[in-house]
Amino acid sequence: MTETPEKVFLNTCLKCNKLTRTPYARQCRHCGNSWHDITVAQFKLDSSFQLTGRHFFAWTNYERRNQKEQFMDLTILGLNRKPKIEAIEFALKRQDGRVWEDVALGTNDLTEDDKEYLISIGSFGRPFDIVKEK
């Protein structure tokens, strides 16, 4: 913890700022505040990359479409970050006769270390949330 304290994060209540049990526990056991309604979609990370001069993109198989001006909650991936979605790109993919559309969520709110971390973990089985407020 003394070497990289910025990588240690706690899930706290938005109202009373006390500790909640897990990143999925979006209800405070102390004051009863619930913030389940801020989640608008969930995505699974397939890969990450950045083109020169463009946004950093997280490629996903989307479960529900979202809109810009929302935030990626990356705490479940091990980053204490909620970067703003600034761009949305779509890619049509074909494999073995199947056709589907993948989506890339673009942001410029991540540090170089955050980008390297996301690229290094590659695909991540657990979905991360898209939330409407930070």
Structure tokens at 39: 């989640």
User: In Å, how far are 35, 76, 77, 94, 127 from 60, measured between CA atoms?
Assistant: 24, 15, 13, 15, 9
Q: What is the pLDDT along the chain (134 residues), one digit of tens a residue?
A: 566 666 666 777 878 888 877 666 778 888 888 877 777 777 777 777 777 777 877 767 655 555 667 899 888 888 888 999 888 888 787 889 998 888 888 899 999 999 999 888 887 777 888 888 87
Residues 70, 95: Cα–Cα separation, whole Å: 31
Residue 84 is predicted with a pLDDT of: 92
- The pTM of this model reads 0.67
Residue 109 is predicted with a pLDDT of: 92
